[in-house]
Structure 1
Amino acid sequence: MTRPGVPTLVTVRRDASGRDVASELGPGTFLAPRPLLPAADGLHLALVGTTAGLLAGDDLSIRITVGPGARLHLMEPAGLVAYDHRGGTSSWRAEVEVAEGGQLCWDSRPFVVSSGAEVTRAMEVRLAPGARMLWRDTLVLGRSGERGGRIRATTRADHDGGELLVEDLDLTEPDVRELPGILGPYRVIGSVTALGADPGGRPHPSRMDLAGPGAQVRLLETRAPAVERELEAVWQSWRASYGTAFDATRNGPGAAMPA
């Protein structure tokens, strides 16, 4: 059975009083945005699942727009599971646009690719000058005791019109991905990625600086809890650094990100 992919829509702006407000919250086929308690550091929303995880023929689509100077914090209360597709395929797509001076922090939960699933996943990010995004992401190949299905995950982030991050993780062939020097025995891939500005924070041995302003910490493990614990520390450190610098930028024209 194919379920039509009505996109989940989130549009956030900064109003005349300086508050971050949602001008559009459109529930999609699979996810619905839900407001959380008000906070001083921006608008907080949860992306709540409205149906079972990805099945064959499913097309999950998310479109997020953050207006000039606005702040959006997205969190996912539960992970997403792509179940056995029984010969079919599914897709997950996100399009993110952050205007000048805007900020998006997206704290996602694990994306699990069960044995028998075949998924394409694409993240497209466009950042204007002075915009930034912090994204936490974990891919898990298989549920407990499974080898895991097939996934091709692409990420493309542009900043101020230039390429900041272009990545193509082709994990569609289990025999290839399990070779030494690729994934080997690991089936969990966790990342925290800062786009548009140096995240500062505590030093980390797995940090990689991007082609422009930004950095990424990527971890490989055999079990998800170990990755999630270490990523949580990186996430909290980078988020605190991002928030402090963002407040300084909004409140003072000469402020800059920490080195």
Structure 2
Amino acid sequence: MITRVEVVARRGPGGRTVLPVVRGSGQLAVRRTGPASVHLVATAFGPLGGDDAEVRLVVEEGATLAVRSVAAAVALPARDGDRPSVQRVVAEVAGELDLRPEPTVVARGAHHRAELTATLAAGAVLTATEQVLLGRTGEEPGRWTGTTRVVRDGRPLLHTTVGLGPGAPAWLPPLAPRAYASTVHVGQAAGVLTADDAVRLPLEDGWVATAWGTQLHRVVRALTEDVA
């Protein structure tokens, strides 16, 4: 299934944010849930292997946008073959973007690829969080590959790829984590901070934090309380 989502946030009269473009097709619908916030709503189960989704977000200067989802996504294997499912988030930000969807659960036999490409103007603010759980309860893990690219004012700021699950180069059971969470923030600097199975590293005028473990709720708590 092909899914396309587009949201544009613009500074309106009196400095409030208006959303002149809010549209979705395929597997995701978009609902405005606040003055400057939207939720992504799944209209079909999945994603399934072979599905292709692109979420395009534009936040113009002086505008703010918060993007959430209403429930966890469960990535399932393709009905035929071993094709991955793909979700790309492409963001152009001159204002402030807060992107925090619910977790992605990757079922046994599935391979899900998540990509975030953010192009930031000077002075833009970005917060983007990813939460992943490999396998449902009592199930062997699936595979997840996440790539984050951030360019600010024309200069590369962050480019990283993380691969988890069977077939990933760094996957070394039995110590490999089934749960993973990360946040990248640009707009306020922070120094190095470490905790058990969690770390925050500085970026220019920002930071990136990651946490990992066996249980997603513990990983998310470490990310939000210990290092973020």
Is TM-score (shorter-chain normalized) higher than 0.5? yes
Q: Deviations over 1:151-180 (max 9, x none)?
A: 322110001111111001133644754427
Letter in 1 for 2:9: V
User: What is the match of residue 98 of structure 2?
Assistant: 105
The structural deviation recorded for 1:139 is 1.5
Match of 2:30 among 30, 33, 42: 33
Aligned equivalents of 2:40, 2:153: Cα separation in 1: 28
Describe the shift of the 1:177–1:114 C-alpha distance in structure 2 as closer, same or farther (beyond 3 A).
farther
Q: What's the TM-score, normalizing by structure 1?
A: 0.78
Aligned equivalents of 2:3, 2:70: Cα separation in 1: 21
Letter in 2 for 1:95: V
Letter in 2 for 1:146: E
User: What is the match of residue 130 of structure 1?
Assistant: 123
User: What is the match of residue 207 of structure 1?
Assistant: 200
Is 1:230 the counterpart of 2:222 in the alignment? yes
Q: Does the CA-based 8 Å contact 1:13-1:23 persist in structure 2?
A: yes
Aligned equivalents of 2:166, 2:213: Cα separation in 1: 19
User: What is the match of residue 158 of structure 1?
Assistant: 151
Aligned equivalents of 1:188, 1:163: Cα separation in 2: 28
User: What is the match of residue 111 of structure 2?
Assistant: 118
Is 1:220 the counterpart of 2:212 in the alignment? yes
The structural deviation recorded for 1:62 is 0.4
User: What is the match of residue 15 of structure 2?
Assistant: 18
Counterparts of 1:77-88 in structure 2, within 5 Å, are 77-86=70-79, 87-88=81-82
| Farther-moved stretch of structure 1 (85-94 vs 118-127) | 85-94
User: What is the match of residue 186 of structure 1?
Assistant: 177
Q: Where has structure 1 moved over 6 Å in runs of 4 or more?
A: none
Q: What's the TM-score, normalizing by structure 2?
A: 0.88
Q: Compare CA radii of gyration and give the structure with the larger one.
A: 1
Aligned equivalents of 1:166, 1:78: Cα separation in 2: 28
SS of the equivalent of 2:218 reads helix
More strand, by proportion: 2
Q: Which runs of 5+ in 2 are unaligned?
A: none
Aligned equivalents of 2:60, 2:141: Cα separation in 1: 38
Aligned equivalents of 2:163, 2:222: Cα separation in 1: 24
| Farther-moved stretch of structure 1 (144-153 vs 10-19) | 144-153
More helix, by proportion: 1
Aligned equivalents of 1:229, 1:150: Cα separation in 2: 23
Q: Deviations over 1:174-218 (max 9, x none)?
A: 4754427xx924111111220243269xx66421112x2210121
Describe the shift of the 1:233–1:33 C-alpha distance in structure 2 as closer, same or farther (beyond 3 A).
farther
Q: Which runs of 5+ in 1 are unaligned?
A: 239-259
Q: Does the CA-based 8 Å contact 1:110-1:140 persist in structure 2?
A: yes
Letter in 2 for 1:15: G
Aligned equivalents of 1:234, 1:160: Cα separation in 2: 30
User: What is the match of residue 247 of structure 1?
Assistant: none
> Identity over the aligned pairs, expressed in percent?
32
